[in-house]
Structure 1
Amino acid sequence: MKQLTALSVAVLAACSAVPAMAQDNASEVGQVFVGPRIGLFGTDSDRLTLKDGQIYKFEGGFDSVYGGIEAGFLFTPKWGYRIYYDYLRGSMEGGDTASGDAFGVDVLYNFTENFYGGLGISSTELGSQTNRFLRVTGGYKQYVTNNMALTIEGGLQQSDEDLTEFLLQTGVRWYFDTPAKYTPAPAPVEPQQQPVQPPVDSDGDGVLDSNDKCPDTQAGYKVDADGCVMFRDETITKTLMVTFGFDSAQIPAGQDSDIRSTANFLKDYPQLNVVIEGHTDDLGPESYNLKLSQERAKAVGDSLVDFGIDKSRVSTVGYGETQPLVPNTTKANRAENRRVEAKMSVTKKTAIKD
């Protein structure tokens, strides 16, 4: 038995030493295989035999050896069957031996190109006792030539008398009229080195095209890490100041240019509306001055409309003498307080230049 165990180990080592080969179970379809096998058989401790009128038990464990032959046929790349016959010799308690036969049929299933399983029925006679078993096996197959494969296989069988027994075997299979069962695995193909492209910055903004989210930046502007122009907020303020003669709401000659400039500013920023504020000095009744300031504001507002500003964007208000620009203590100061003014501001994004 020690020799058989050593042989099983040797066959397993041979399978492991065979170089990995590309297998194709489809090439076995329609082909017959046949070959010898040898193995160890583990009897159930409840198996008894009668010899010379005496009842014996077997030693237990892998206490039996066997050798036999199998033949099979694969009818799809996954499914096939085999039949087998084995001659068994087991060691009984007391040092005596008993011999017998096992034969059966298995349905085979290929899980992969190397691993397979089997399910079948077996009739095992050892000594004087014969039993029928349901047998489950699993094995590994490795080709060593075009027509020969080594196998190692383990299995378990269960009888209707509640006997559970084990087997471990190695074998050789020859395939008849079989096309080449393997081809050497192709050597790995070294990927061709693609020429390294130098980094490109098409718009010259200092950010490579691979990272540039604004690829057509105009030269001369600062950009961020994504290659996009950087902006800052810029507030633009426009002030309109028109002064009037004493007790007058008529726009003096020469001040139309300031009003025109304000109109152009409003055209540049159509989102802006303007409030025209009218004022007076402190001479005269307060109620009269309030009305006069309103008339002055309206005169400038109408002038902006004349210069093309939509009337809805212009509003006017009069404050009379309540908001002097300077103290009404001198004639010159009073002249400054007779005024119309407007303040406008807008914030816009301005590109930052290098």
Structure 2
Amino acid sequence: MSRFYLCIFLLLTTNASFAESFNDDGGWYLGGKLGATVLDIEAANQTSDPDPSTASMGVVAGYNFNDFLSVESDLSSFGKFKQGAEPEKLVAFSTYLLGRYHVSDRAALYAKVGNSIIGNDLNLSGGIGLKYQISQQLELDTGYRLIGDVPNTEDDLYEFSVGINYKFGKNKPAPKVVPPAEPVIVPTTLNSNTLFKFNSAEISDSSALAKLAKKMSASHVEINVEIVAYTDTSGPEAYNLKLSKKRAEAVRDYFIKQGVNKQVINTAWKGEANPIASNKTRAGRIKNRRVDIIYIENNVVYH
């Protein structure tokens, strides 16, 4: 029997180093169990019924300090054993220090060591078993334990049991914090052929700009406006870059006149850069002559 308790002690002392998460153990639990009991009768105490066995039942209460260490108590009835003229009913109140070694996310081996009170006697007791998480609150508990030197017989009692525990103050997994998605930058693209007079930065059709300006000036939250102007490859490159600058500034000035705060407007001009179509065709060149407007309100992109 001393070897049995030595094995339990070793498991308890090594458990803390290797414990892994077991569905965030923590808090109080309460359960019930059913089992079978065998009384190991020594030869000197032998009766007509060698090594008698009975059914057992009990209630369990415990507290999980963390993922690997608990205290546990149980009140168990082991049935009646005939030791002499009249059968005697064995009832024990036990307290244990219990350690767990997690073998998976749901299953953990455990070992416990403590004392059992039977009648007026205090008896050394220990056990091993397996706990399996059925759901967030319920766990299956299968175990084997030994109570040494049962009163009146001075023999060892062995119990094999199966029970269900309900966890009360079980810690819930912390909610995952999902960072806000970066806004997808999809600009509003206005065609320069419609927006400006030919080869000029003078605005000829402001209807599309007016709709955007109304939305921006009516906003009561933080906004940011990006204006980027482009040309096609017709004409000298330096001239096209200067023309795109004038057109970007013309759109900016229009927004400011419509009530948009100039502090939130940024302009850029790219000239012939970043074509979206081929400059070898008339249709492609028309597409490349454009102004992109990106309107961001509280990190949400509007277009």
- TM-score tier (shorter): 0.3 to 0.5
TM-score normalised per structure 1 = 0.37
More helix by share: 2
Q: Which structure ranks higher in relative contact order (CA pairs < 8 Å, sequence separation ≥ 6)?
A: 2
User: Which is higher, the Rg of structure 1 or of structure 2?
Assistant: 1
TM-score normalised per structure 2 = 0.43
